[in-house]
Chains A and B, each alone.
Chain A
Protein backbone atom coordinates (compact mmCIF):
# COMPACT_ATOMS: atom_id res chain seq x y z
CA UNK A 1 0.00 0.00 0.00
CA UNK A 2 1.65 3.16 -1.19
CA UNK A 3 0.13 6.46 -0.30
CA UNK A 4 0.77 9.80 1.33
CA UNK A 5 0.16 10.37 5.04
CA UNK A 6 -3.55 10.34 5.72
CA UNK A 7 -4.38 8.07 2.76
CA UNK A 8 -5.86 5.45 5.11
CA UNK A 9 -3.01 2.93 5.22
CA UNK A 10 -2.82 2.57 9.00
CA UNK A 11 -6.60 2.50 9.27
CA UNK A 12 -6.64 -0.38 6.79
CA UNK A 13 -4.10 -2.22 8.93
CA UNK A 14 -6.20 -1.70 12.05
CA UNK A 15 -9.29 -2.91 10.22
CA UNK A 16 -7.50 -6.13 9.30
CA UNK A 17 -6.75 -6.92 12.96
CA UNK A 18 -10.24 -5.79 14.02
CA UNK A 19 -8.70 -3.06 16.17
CA UNK A 20 -10.95 -0.77 14.19
CA UNK A 21 -14.39 -1.77 12.98
CA UNK A 22 -15.70 -0.98 9.52
CA UNK A 23 -18.84 1.18 9.28
CA UNK A 24 -19.99 -0.79 6.25
CA UNK A 25 -18.89 -3.66 4.04
CA UNK A 26 -17.30 -6.96 5.00
CA UNK A 27 -13.70 -7.98 5.59
CA UNK A 28 -12.28 -11.49 5.21
CA UNK A 29 -8.71 -12.25 6.22
CA UNK A 30 -7.25 -15.67 5.32
CA UNK A 31 -10.81 -16.97 5.02
CA UNK A 32 -11.93 -15.62 8.39
CA UNK A 33 -14.84 -13.20 8.59
CA UNK A 34 -14.12 -10.13 10.70
CA UNK A 35 -14.83 -9.13 13.37
CA UNK A 36 -16.56 -12.38 14.39
CA UNK A 37 -13.52 -14.57 13.69
CA UNK A 38 -10.91 -11.90 14.25
CA UNK A 39 -9.13 -13.84 16.95
CA UNK A 40 -8.51 -16.74 14.58
CA UNK A 41 -7.37 -14.31 11.91
CA UNK A 42 -4.95 -12.62 14.30
CA UNK A 43 -3.63 -16.05 15.25
CA UNK A 44 -2.39 -16.53 11.67
CA UNK A 45 -1.17 -12.96 11.27
CA UNK A 46 1.90 -11.17 12.53
CA UNK A 47 1.61 -7.44 13.11
CA UNK A 48 4.45 -4.95 13.09
CA UNK A 49 3.04 -1.58 14.13
CA UNK A 50 4.22 1.78 12.96
CA UNK A 51 4.53 3.05 16.50
CA UNK A 52 6.98 1.32 18.79
CA UNK A 53 4.90 -0.32 21.53
CA UNK A 54 7.55 -2.56 23.08
CA UNK A 55 7.71 -2.97 26.85
CA UNK A 56 10.82 -0.91 27.54
CA UNK A 57 11.52 -2.59 30.87
CA UNK A 58 11.64 -6.12 29.48
CA UNK A 59 14.46 -7.90 27.67
CA UNK A 60 14.21 -9.08 24.06
CA UNK A 61 13.92 -12.67 25.23
CA UNK A 62 11.17 -11.83 27.74
CA UNK A 63 9.11 -9.94 25.18
CA UNK A 64 9.39 -12.74 22.63
CA UNK A 65 8.53 -15.28 25.35
CA UNK A 66 5.37 -13.39 26.30
CA UNK A 67 4.25 -13.16 22.68
CA UNK A 68 5.04 -16.83 22.06
CA UNK A 69 2.50 -17.56 24.79
CA UNK A 70 0.00 -15.07 23.45
CA UNK A 71 0.21 -16.73 20.04
CA UNK A 72 -0.30 -20.13 21.71
CA UNK A 73 3.07 -21.55 20.67
CA UNK A 74 3.14 -24.88 22.57
CA UNK A 75 5.33 -24.85 25.66
CA UNK A 76 7.80 -27.36 24.22
CA UNK A 77 8.40 -25.18 21.14
CA UNK A 78 8.55 -21.78 22.82
CA UNK A 79 12.27 -21.67 23.45
CA UNK A 80 13.05 -22.65 19.87
CA UNK A 81 10.58 -20.05 18.56
CA UNK A 82 12.26 -17.33 20.63
CA UNK A 83 15.70 -18.40 19.42
CA UNK A 84 14.51 -18.41 15.80
CA UNK A 85 12.98 -14.93 16.10
CA UNK A 86 16.15 -13.58 17.74
CA UNK A 87 18.17 -15.02 14.84
CA UNK A 88 15.88 -13.52 12.18
CA UNK A 89 16.24 -10.11 13.77
CA UNK A 90 19.96 -10.53 14.35
CA UNK A 91 19.49 -9.83 18.03
CA UNK A 92 21.12 -12.89 19.57
CA UNK A 93 23.91 -10.92 21.25
CA UNK A 94 21.27 -8.59 22.76
CA UNK A 95 18.80 -11.27 23.83
CA UNK A 96 19.04 -10.35 27.50
CA UNK A 97 19.30 -6.59 27.12
CA UNK A 98 16.29 -4.55 28.19
CA UNK A 99 14.58 -2.67 25.39
CA UNK A 100 15.31 0.75 26.87
CA UNK A 101 19.01 0.15 26.15
CA UNK A 102 18.58 -0.88 22.50
CA UNK A 103 19.17 1.44 19.54
CA UNK A 104 16.27 2.55 17.34
CA UNK A 105 17.19 0.06 14.63
CA UNK A 106 17.39 -2.83 17.08
CA UNK A 107 14.01 -1.92 18.53
CA UNK A 108 12.49 -1.93 15.07
CA UNK A 109 14.01 -5.34 14.33
CA UNK A 110 12.67 -6.61 17.65
CA UNK A 111 9.20 -5.39 16.65
CA UNK A 112 9.52 -7.41 13.45
CA UNK A 113 10.77 -10.46 15.35
CA UNK A 114 7.82 -10.17 17.74
CA UNK A 115 5.42 -10.27 14.80
CA UNK A 116 7.12 -13.38 13.41
CA UNK A 117 7.34 -15.42 16.63
CA UNK A 118 4.57 -17.82 15.56
CA UNK A 119 5.57 -18.15 11.89
CA UNK A 120 2.48 -16.37 10.57
CA UNK A 121 1.06 -16.86 7.08
CA UNK A 122 0.48 -13.16 6.69
CA UNK A 123 2.58 -10.32 8.06
CA UNK A 124 1.29 -6.76 8.33
CA UNK A 125 4.06 -4.17 8.28
CA UNK A 126 2.86 -0.64 8.89
CA UNK A 127 5.50 1.81 7.63
CA UNK A 128 8.28 -0.38 8.98
CA UNK A 129 11.19 1.86 7.98
CA UNK A 130 9.82 5.28 8.80
CA UNK A 131 12.39 7.39 10.61
CA UNK A 132 15.23 4.88 10.22
CA UNK A 133 18.65 5.80 8.88
CA UNK A 134 19.55 4.43 5.43
CA UNK A 135 21.72 1.59 6.65
CA UNK A 136 19.11 0.26 9.09
CA UNK A 137 16.52 0.59 6.38
CA UNK A 138 18.63 -1.61 4.10
CA UNK A 139 18.86 -4.25 6.85
CA UNK A 140 15.13 -4.24 7.25
CA UNK A 141 14.60 -4.48 3.52
CA UNK A 142 16.68 -7.63 3.30
CA UNK A 143 14.75 -9.05 6.26
CA UNK A 144 11.44 -8.36 4.50
CA UNK A 145 12.75 -9.73 1.23
CA UNK A 146 13.79 -12.88 3.09
CA UNK A 147 10.21 -13.35 4.27
CA UNK A 148 8.93 -12.97 0.74
CA UNK A 149 11.36 -15.59 -0.52
CA UNK A 150 10.17 -17.98 2.21
CA UNK A 151 6.65 -17.61 0.87
CA UNK A 152 5.18 -15.50 3.65
CA UNK A 153 2.59 -13.03 2.41
CA UNK A 154 3.63 -9.53 3.38
CA UNK A 155 1.24 -6.60 3.39
CA UNK A 156 3.29 -3.49 3.86
CA UNK A 157 2.28 0.14 3.93
CA UNK A 158 4.76 2.83 3.06
CA UNK A 159 5.02 6.34 1.81
CA UNK A 160 8.51 5.72 0.47
CA UNK A 161 8.23 5.10 -3.26
CA UNK A 162 11.66 3.53 -3.44
CA UNK A 163 10.61 0.96 -0.88
CA UNK A 164 7.53 -0.05 -2.82
CA UNK A 165 9.50 -0.22 -6.06
CA UNK A 166 12.14 -2.50 -4.58
CA UNK A 167 10.12 -4.81 -2.38
CA UNK A 168 6.60 -5.12 -3.74
CA UNK A 169 5.23 -7.68 -6.17
CA UNK A 170 2.01 -5.69 -6.29
CA UNK A 171 1.58 -2.05 -5.41
CA UNK A 172 -1.77 -0.55 -4.49
CA UNK A 173 -1.67 3.22 -4.71
CA UNK A 174 -3.91 4.75 -2.06
CA UNK A 175 -5.29 8.22 -1.87
CA UNK A 176 -8.00 9.60 0.42
CA UNK A 177 -9.06 6.18 1.65
CA UNK A 178 -9.28 4.47 -1.74
CA UNK A 179 -7.08 2.27 -3.91
CA UNK A 180 -6.78 4.30 -7.10
CA UNK A 181 -4.46 1.98 -9.03
CA UNK A 182 -3.00 -1.45 -8.57
CA UNK A 183 -0.38 -3.55 -10.35
CA UNK A 184 3.27 -4.47 -10.43
CA UNK A 185 5.58 -1.48 -10.17
CA UNK A 186 6.43 -1.89 -13.90
CA UNK A 187 2.77 -2.02 -14.93
CA UNK A 188 1.94 1.09 -12.95
CA UNK A 189 4.89 2.99 -14.41
CA UNK A 190 4.01 1.87 -17.96
CA UNK A 191 0.36 2.75 -17.61
CA UNK A 192 0.68 6.07 -15.85
CA UNK A 193 4.08 7.52 -16.74
CA UNK A 194 5.05 5.92 -20.07
CA UNK A 195 8.53 4.58 -20.58
CA UNK A 196 10.58 7.76 -20.68
CA UNK A 197 10.57 11.06 -18.86
CA UNK A 198 12.13 14.24 -20.12
CA UNK A 199 13.37 16.55 -17.42
CA UNK A 200 13.86 20.14 -18.45
CA UNK A 201 15.88 22.45 -16.25
CA UNK A 202 15.92 26.23 -16.43
CA UNK A 203 15.06 29.50 -14.70
CA UNK A 204 11.60 29.64 -13.09
CA UNK A 205 10.12 31.90 -15.79
CA UNK A 206 11.11 29.48 -18.55
CA UNK A 207 9.76 26.55 -16.61
CA UNK A 208 6.43 28.30 -16.09
CA UNK A 209 6.26 28.95 -19.83
CA UNK A 210 7.01 25.30 -20.55
CA UNK A 211 4.29 24.23 -18.15
CA UNK A 212 1.67 26.32 -19.89
CA UNK A 213 2.86 25.02 -23.25
CA UNK A 214 2.61 21.45 -21.98
CA UNK A 215 -0.89 22.12 -20.69
CA UNK A 216 -1.96 23.57 -24.08
CA UNK A 217 -0.50 20.62 -25.98
CA UNK A 218 -1.93 18.07 -23.55
CA UNK A 219 1.48 16.70 -22.55
CA UNK A 220 1.47 14.95 -19.20
CA UNK A 221 3.85 16.85 -16.99
CA UNK A 222 4.70 17.67 -13.42
CA UNK A 223 6.96 19.97 -11.48
CA UNK A 224 9.84 17.94 -10.14
CA UNK A 225 11.95 20.05 -7.82
CA UNK A 226 14.04 22.41 -9.99
CA UNK A 227 12.78 20.89 -13.24
CA UNK A 228 9.64 20.25 -15.22
CA UNK A 229 9.23 16.57 -16.04
CA UNK A 230 7.34 15.57 -19.19
CA UNK A 231 5.90 12.08 -18.85
CA UNK A 232 5.62 9.66 -21.77
CA UNK A 233 8.48 11.54 -23.46
CA UNK A 234 8.88 8.77 -26.04
CA UNK A 235 5.70 10.05 -27.73
CA UNK A 236 6.83 13.68 -28.05
CA UNK A 237 8.47 13.19 -31.46
CA UNK A 238 10.79 16.08 -32.17
CA UNK A 239 8.62 18.79 -30.59
CA UNK A 240 10.04 18.39 -27.14
CA UNK A 241 12.46 20.96 -25.73
CA UNK A 242 16.02 20.03 -24.79
CA UNK A 243 16.42 18.20 -21.53
CA UNK A 244 17.56 15.07 -19.81
CA UNK A 245 15.85 11.83 -20.80
CA UNK A 246 15.57 9.12 -18.18
CA UNK A 247 13.47 5.97 -17.72
CA UNK A 248 10.11 6.62 -16.06
CA UNK A 249 9.85 5.41 -12.46
CA UNK A 250 7.20 4.72 -9.87
CA UNK A 251 7.44 8.22 -8.47
CA UNK A 252 6.34 9.63 -11.85
CA UNK A 253 3.40 7.24 -11.91
CA UNK A 254 2.54 8.03 -8.30
CA UNK A 255 2.51 11.77 -8.86
CA UNK A 256 0.53 11.36 -12.07
CA UNK A 257 -2.02 9.29 -10.16
CA UNK A 258 -2.38 11.28 -6.98
CA UNK A 259 -1.33 14.73 -8.07
CA UNK A 260 0.82 14.78 -4.95
CA UNK A 261 4.52 14.99 -4.45
CA UNK A 262 5.91 12.93 -1.61
CA UNK A 263 9.37 12.36 -0.26
Chain B
Protein backbone atom coordinates (compact mmCIF):
# COMPACT_ATOMS: atom_id res chain seq x y z
CA UNK B 1 0.00 0.00 0.00
CA UNK B 2 2.86 2.38 0.66
CA UNK B 3 4.04 2.31 -2.96
CA UNK B 4 2.07 5.48 -3.57
CA UNK B 5 2.65 7.24 -6.88
CA UNK B 6 4.04 10.31 -5.11
CA UNK B 7 5.80 12.99 -7.10
CA UNK B 8 8.46 12.93 -4.40
CA UNK B 9 8.80 12.17 -0.72
CA UNK B 10 7.77 14.87 1.65
CA UNK B 11 9.63 15.64 4.83
CA UNK B 12 9.10 17.45 8.08
CA UNK B 13 9.63 21.21 8.11
CA UNK B 14 9.95 21.61 4.37
CA UNK B 15 11.33 25.01 3.31
CA UNK B 16 8.67 25.23 0.57
CA UNK B 17 5.87 24.90 3.13
CA UNK B 18 7.47 27.44 5.48
CA UNK B 19 7.99 29.83 2.58
CA UNK B 20 4.40 29.36 1.44
CA UNK B 21 2.95 30.24 4.84
CA UNK B 22 5.35 33.17 5.24
CA UNK B 23 4.44 34.49 1.79
CA UNK B 24 0.96 35.03 3.12
CA UNK B 25 2.38 36.91 6.10
CA UNK B 26 4.50 39.08 3.84
CA UNK B 27 1.58 39.90 1.54
CA UNK B 28 -0.53 40.85 4.56
CA UNK B 29 2.36 42.84 6.05
CA UNK B 30 2.57 44.92 2.89
CA UNK B 31 -0.97 46.07 3.75
CA UNK B 32 -0.42 46.60 7.45
CA UNK B 33 3.21 47.54 7.85
CA UNK B 34 2.54 51.12 8.84
CA UNK B 35 0.27 50.31 11.77
CA UNK B 36 2.36 47.34 12.88
CA UNK B 37 5.61 49.23 12.68
CA UNK B 38 4.15 52.26 14.42
CA UNK B 39 2.89 50.29 17.41
CA UNK B 40 6.02 48.17 17.67
CA UNK B 41 8.35 51.15 17.69
CA UNK B 42 6.49 53.98 19.35
CA UNK B 43 5.79 52.31 22.66
CA UNK B 44 9.40 51.38 23.48
CA UNK B 45 10.55 54.76 22.26
CA UNK B 46 8.16 56.43 24.69
CA UNK B 47 9.64 54.38 27.53
CA UNK B 48 13.09 55.29 26.33
CA UNK B 49 12.35 59.00 26.22
CA UNK B 50 10.36 59.08 29.45
CA UNK B 51 12.90 57.14 31.48
CA UNK B 52 16.03 58.19 29.64
CA UNK B 53 15.31 61.90 29.66
CA UNK B 54 13.12 62.02 32.76
CA UNK B 55 15.05 59.79 35.12
CA UNK B 56 18.27 60.55 33.29
CA UNK B 57 18.12 64.17 34.45
CA UNK B 58 18.38 63.05 38.09
CA UNK B 59 20.44 59.94 37.59
CA UNK B 60 23.34 60.47 35.24
CA UNK B 61 25.16 57.18 35.52
CA UNK B 62 24.92 53.55 36.63
CA UNK B 63 28.54 52.80 37.44
CA UNK B 64 30.41 53.88 34.35
CA UNK B 65 27.37 53.67 32.01
CA UNK B 66 25.38 56.80 31.20
CA UNK B 67 21.71 56.33 32.08
CA UNK B 68 20.51 57.06 28.52
CA UNK B 69 22.87 54.33 27.27
CA UNK B 70 21.60 52.00 29.96
CA UNK B 71 17.93 52.54 29.03
CA UNK B 72 18.41 52.64 25.25
CA UNK B 73 20.04 49.22 25.28
CA UNK B 74 17.56 47.88 27.83
CA UNK B 75 14.45 48.96 25.93
CA UNK B 76 15.55 46.86 22.93
CA UNK B 77 14.25 43.86 24.86
CA UNK B 78 10.96 45.65 25.52
CA UNK B 79 10.55 46.36 21.80
CA UNK B 80 11.28 42.72 21.01
CA UNK B 81 8.85 41.49 23.67
CA UNK B 82 5.99 43.70 22.49
CA UNK B 83 6.49 42.91 18.82
CA UNK B 84 6.63 39.15 19.39
CA UNK B 85 4.41 38.13 22.33
CA UNK B 86 1.40 40.21 21.25
CA UNK B 87 1.34 39.08 17.60
CA UNK B 88 1.96 35.55 18.86
CA UNK B 89 -1.16 35.77 20.99
CA UNK B 90 -3.52 37.88 18.89
CA UNK B 91 -2.62 36.83 15.34
CA UNK B 92 -2.75 33.19 16.27
CA UNK B 93 -6.09 33.44 18.02
CA UNK B 94 -7.71 35.60 15.33
CA UNK B 95 -6.46 33.57 12.38
CA UNK B 96 -7.30 30.30 14.01
CA UNK B 97 -10.64 31.06 15.68
CA UNK B 98 -12.17 34.01 13.84
CA UNK B 99 -10.80 33.93 10.29
CA UNK B 100 -10.27 30.16 10.14
CA UNK B 101 -7.14 30.79 8.10
CA UNK B 102 -5.36 27.88 9.74
CA UNK B 103 -8.09 25.51 8.60
CA UNK B 104 -7.50 26.65 5.04
CA UNK B 105 -3.71 26.32 5.30
CA UNK B 106 -3.87 22.86 6.88
CA UNK B 107 -6.03 21.60 4.02
CA UNK B 108 -3.03 22.35 1.77
CA UNK B 109 0.17 20.27 2.00
CA UNK B 110 1.29 22.03 5.18
CA UNK B 111 1.66 20.29 8.54
CA UNK B 112 0.81 21.78 11.91
CA UNK B 113 4.51 21.90 12.72
CA UNK B 114 5.30 23.80 9.53
CA UNK B 115 2.40 26.20 9.95
CA UNK B 116 3.26 27.16 13.53
CA UNK B 117 7.00 27.31 12.86
CA UNK B 118 6.51 29.59 9.86
CA UNK B 119 4.23 31.93 11.80
CA UNK B 120 6.69 32.17 14.70
CA UNK B 121 9.61 32.59 12.33
CA UNK B 122 7.99 35.50 10.57
CA UNK B 123 7.11 37.27 13.84
CA UNK B 124 10.62 36.80 15.20
CA UNK B 125 12.33 38.13 12.07
CA UNK B 126 10.19 41.23 12.38
CA UNK B 127 10.87 41.49 16.12
CA UNK B 128 14.62 41.31 15.49
CA UNK B 129 14.38 44.27 13.14
CA UNK B 130 12.07 46.28 15.41
CA UNK B 131 14.54 45.73 18.24
CA UNK B 132 16.89 48.12 16.48
CA UNK B 133 14.52 51.06 16.87
CA UNK B 134 15.48 51.99 20.46
CA UNK B 135 19.17 51.83 19.54
CA UNK B 136 18.64 54.21 16.64
CA UNK B 137 16.72 56.63 18.86
CA UNK B 138 19.38 56.16 21.56
CA UNK B 139 22.12 57.05 19.07
CA UNK B 140 20.27 60.28 18.31
CA UNK B 141 20.44 61.04 22.06
CA UNK B 142 24.12 60.28 22.49
CA UNK B 143 24.49 56.49 22.58
CA UNK B 144 27.78 55.80 20.76
CA UNK B 145 27.28 53.50 17.73
CA UNK B 146 29.21 50.23 18.01
CA UNK B 147 29.97 47.34 15.70
CA UNK B 148 28.53 44.90 18.24
CA UNK B 149 25.10 46.41 17.68
CA UNK B 150 24.98 44.46 14.42
CA UNK B 151 24.39 41.39 16.60
CA UNK B 152 21.27 42.93 18.14
CA UNK B 153 18.83 41.77 15.40
CA UNK B 154 20.04 38.19 15.96
CA UNK B 155 19.58 38.43 19.72
CA UNK B 156 16.17 40.00 19.05
CA UNK B 157 15.34 37.16 16.68
CA UNK B 158 16.11 34.41 19.20
CA UNK B 159 14.31 36.23 22.02
CA UNK B 160 11.40 37.08 19.74
CA UNK B 161 11.16 33.45 18.63
CA UNK B 162 10.72 32.37 22.24
CA UNK B 163 8.15 35.05 23.05
CA UNK B 164 6.21 34.60 19.80
CA UNK B 165 6.00 30.89 20.61
CA UNK B 166 4.97 31.79 24.17
CA UNK B 167 2.17 33.89 22.64
CA UNK B 168 1.05 30.92 20.53
CA UNK B 169 0.91 28.76 23.66
CA UNK B 170 -1.22 31.41 25.40
CA UNK B 171 -3.55 31.54 22.36
CA UNK B 172 -3.81 27.75 22.33
CA UNK B 173 -4.87 27.50 25.98
CA UNK B 174 -7.01 30.67 26.14
CA UNK B 175 -10.75 30.10 26.08
CA UNK B 176 -11.55 33.58 24.82
CA UNK B 177 -9.46 36.48 23.63
CA UNK B 178 -10.27 38.33 26.90
CA UNK B 179 -8.15 35.79 28.78
CA UNK B 180 -5.11 37.48 27.26
CA UNK B 181 -5.56 40.28 29.82
CA UNK B 182 -4.44 37.95 32.59
CA UNK B 183 -1.23 37.17 30.74
CA UNK B 184 -0.56 40.78 29.81
CA UNK B 185 -0.95 42.15 33.32
CA UNK B 186 0.30 39.23 35.40
CA UNK B 187 3.14 37.92 33.20
CA UNK B 188 4.31 40.33 30.52
CA UNK B 189 4.18 43.60 32.48
CA UNK B 190 6.22 42.40 35.49
CA UNK B 191 8.53 40.60 33.10
CA UNK B 192 9.52 43.71 31.20
CA UNK B 193 9.78 45.87 34.32
CA UNK B 194 11.97 43.43 36.25
CA UNK B 195 14.48 42.59 33.55
CA UNK B 196 17.19 45.13 34.23
CA UNK B 197 15.67 47.42 31.63
CA UNK B 198 15.27 50.57 33.73
CA UNK B 199 17.19 49.63 36.87
CA UNK B 200 19.69 46.85 37.65
CA UNK B 201 18.17 43.73 39.17
CA UNK B 202 21.02 43.81 41.70
CA UNK B 203 19.02 46.51 43.50
CA UNK B 204 16.20 44.03 44.14
CA UNK B 205 15.76 41.99 47.34
CA UNK B 206 17.55 38.61 47.05
CA UNK B 207 14.41 36.48 46.43
CA UNK B 208 13.13 38.74 43.70
CA UNK B 209 16.60 38.91 42.21
CA UNK B 210 16.76 35.13 42.06
CA UNK B 211 13.37 35.03 40.31
CA UNK B 212 14.50 37.68 37.84
CA UNK B 213 17.27 35.35 36.70
CA UNK B 214 14.60 33.04 35.32
CA UNK B 215 13.17 35.87 33.24
CA UNK B 216 14.36 35.33 29.64
CA UNK B 217 14.00 39.03 29.04
CA UNK B 218 16.66 39.72 31.66
CA UNK B 219 19.12 37.66 29.64
CA UNK B 220 18.15 39.50 26.46
CA UNK B 221 18.70 42.87 28.17
CA UNK B 222 22.10 41.80 29.53
CA UNK B 223 23.27 40.40 26.21
CA UNK B 224 22.14 43.40 24.16
CA UNK B 225 23.80 45.74 26.64
CA UNK B 226 27.07 43.84 26.55
CA UNK B 227 27.34 43.67 22.75
CA UNK B 228 26.25 47.29 22.33
CA UNK B 229 28.46 48.81 25.02
CA UNK B 230 31.45 46.58 24.29
CA UNK B 231 31.37 44.80 27.66
CA UNK B 232 31.22 41.22 26.34
CA UNK B 233 32.15 38.67 29.02
CA UNK B 234 32.00 34.86 29.41
CA UNK B 235 28.61 35.21 31.17
CA UNK B 236 27.15 36.21 27.82
CA UNK B 237 27.43 32.58 26.79
CA UNK B 238 25.04 31.77 29.63
CA UNK B 239 22.64 34.50 28.45
CA UNK B 240 22.78 33.11 24.89
CA UNK B 241 22.18 29.59 26.12
CA UNK B 242 19.18 30.60 28.25
CA UNK B 243 17.58 32.46 25.35
CA UNK B 244 18.17 29.54 22.98
CA UNK B 245 16.74 26.98 25.39
CA UNK B 246 13.75 29.23 26.06
CA UNK B 247 13.12 29.61 22.31
CA UNK B 248 13.33 25.89 21.58
CA UNK B 249 11.23 24.88 24.58
CA UNK B 250 8.47 27.38 23.75
CA UNK B 251 8.56 26.37 20.08
CA UNK B 252 7.94 22.70 20.88
CA UNK B 253 5.33 23.60 23.49
CA UNK B 254 3.50 25.80 20.95
CA UNK B 255 3.39 23.02 18.36
CA UNK B 256 2.17 20.54 20.93
CA UNK B 257 -0.53 22.72 22.50
CA UNK B 258 -1.91 24.32 19.35
CA UNK B 259 -1.53 21.09 17.35
CA UNK B 260 -3.83 19.36 19.79
CA UNK B 261 -6.51 21.95 19.13
CA UNK B 262 -6.06 22.28 15.36
CA UNK B 263 -6.46 18.57 14.62
CA UNK B 264 -9.66 16.98 15.93
Q: Do A and B come from one complex?
A: yes
Which residues on A are within 8 Å of B, measured CB to CB?
11, 14, 17-21, 28, 30-33, 37, 39-40, 42-43, 47, 49, 51, 53-58, 62, 65-67, 69-72, 114
A14 vs B263: C-alpha distance when bound (angstroms): 9
A-B contact pairs, 30 of them (CB 8 A): A11-B264, A17-B106, A18-B263, A19-B262, A19-B264, A21-B264, A30-B4, A31-B3, A37-B2, A37-B6, A39-B111, A40-B10, A42-B107, A42-B109, A43-B6, A43-B7, A47-B107, A49-B100, A49-B107, A53-B101, A53-B104, A54-B104, A55-B24, A55-B99, A56-B99, A58-B31, A66-B24, A69-B16, A70-B20, A70-B109
A28 vs B5: C-alpha distance when bound (angstroms): 13
Tell which of A39, A53, A72 has the most Cβ of chain B within 10 Å.
A39
B264 adjacent to A70 (CB under 8 Å): no
B28 adjacent to A55 (CB under 8 Å): yes
Residues from chain A with Cβ under 8 Å of B20 in the complex = 66, 69-70, 72
B23 adjacent to A69 (CB under 8 Å): yes
Residues from chain A with Cβ under 8 Å of B263 in the complex = 18-21
B100 adjacent to A53 (CB under 8 Å): yes
Q: When the two chains form the complex, which single residue of B3, B6, B110 contacts A40, counting CB atoms closer than 8 Å?
A: B6
Mark interface residues in B1-39 (1 if CB within 8 Å of A CB, else 0): 111111100100000110111011001100100000000
A20 vs B103: C-alpha distance when bound (angstroms): 11
Nearest-neighbour CB distance to chain B for A75, whole angstroms, equals 11
Mark interface residues in B199-243 (1 if CB within 8 Å of A CB, else 0): 000000000000000000000000000000000000000000000
Nearest-neighbour CB distance to chain A for B30, whole angstroms, equals 9
Residues from chain A with Cβ under 8 Å of B99 in the complex = 53, 55-56
Knowing A53-B103, A55-B28, A69-B19 touch, does A39 contact B4 (C-beta < 8 A)? Answer: no
Count, A-B residue pairs, CB within 8 A: 94
Say whether B49 faces chain A, with CB atoms less than 8 Å apart. no
A71 adjacent to B1 (CB under 8 Å): no
Q: When the two chains form the complex, which single residue of B4, B27, B110 contacts A31, counting CB atoms closer than 8 Å?
A: B4
A40 vs B110: C-alpha distance when bound (angstroms): 10
Nearest-neighbour CB distance to chain B for A64, whole angstroms, equals 11
Nearest-neighbour CB distance to chain B for A99, whole angstroms, equals 11
Q: When the two chains form the complex, which single residue of B1, B10, B21 contacts A39, counting CB atoms closer than 8 Å?
A: B10
Knowing A18-B263, A43-B7 touch, does A70 contact B101 (C-beta < 8 A)? Answer: no
Residues from chain A with Cβ under 8 Å of B108 in the complex = 42, 47, 67, 70-71
Nearest-neighbour CB distance to chain A for B14, whole angstroms, equals 8
Residues from chain A with Cβ under 8 Å of B6 in the complex = 32, 37, 40, 43
Residues from chain B with Cβ under 8 Å of A18 in the complex = 263
Nearest-neighbour CB distance to chain B for A121, whole angstroms, equals 10
A215 vs B2: C-alpha distance when bound (angstroms): 53
Q: When the two chains form the complex, which single residue of B19, B24, B103 contacts A19, counting CB atoms closer than 8 Å?
A: B103
Knowing A32-B6, A39-B109, A71-B108 touch, does A55 contact B1 (C-beta < 8 A)? Answer: no
Nearest-neighbour CB distance to chain B for A157, whole angstroms, equals 15
Nearest-neighbour CB distance to chain B for A148, whole angstroms, equals 21
Nearest-neighbour CB distance to chain A for B73, whole angstroms, equals 36
Closest 9 CB pairs of A and B: A53-B100, A20-B264, A47-B107, A70-B20, A70-B108, A69-B20, A53-B104, A31-B4, A43-B109
Nearest-neighbour CB distance to chain B for A163, whole angstroms, equals 22
Residues from chain B with Cβ under 8 Å of A42 in the complex = 107-109
A133 vs B254: C-alpha distance when bound (angstroms): 42
B107 adjacent to A17 (CB under 8 Å): yes
Mark interface residues in B96-134 (1 if CB within 8 Å of A CB, else 0): 000111011111111100000000000000000000000
Please report which residues of chain B, range 58-77, place their CB below 8 angstroms from some CB of chain A when the two chains form the complex: none
A39 vs B100: C-alpha distance when bound (angstroms): 19
Residues from chain A with Cβ under 8 Å of B104 in the complex = 49, 53-54, 114
Nearest-neighbour CB distance to chain A for B37, whole angstroms, equals 17
Extra inter-chain contacts (17) besides given A19-B264, A53-B100, CB under 8 Å: A17-B106, A17-B107, A18-B263, A19-B103, A19-B106, A32-B4, A33-B4, A37-B4, A54-B104, A55-B28, A55-B99, A57-B28, A58-B28, A66-B20, A69-B19, A70-B20, A71-B108
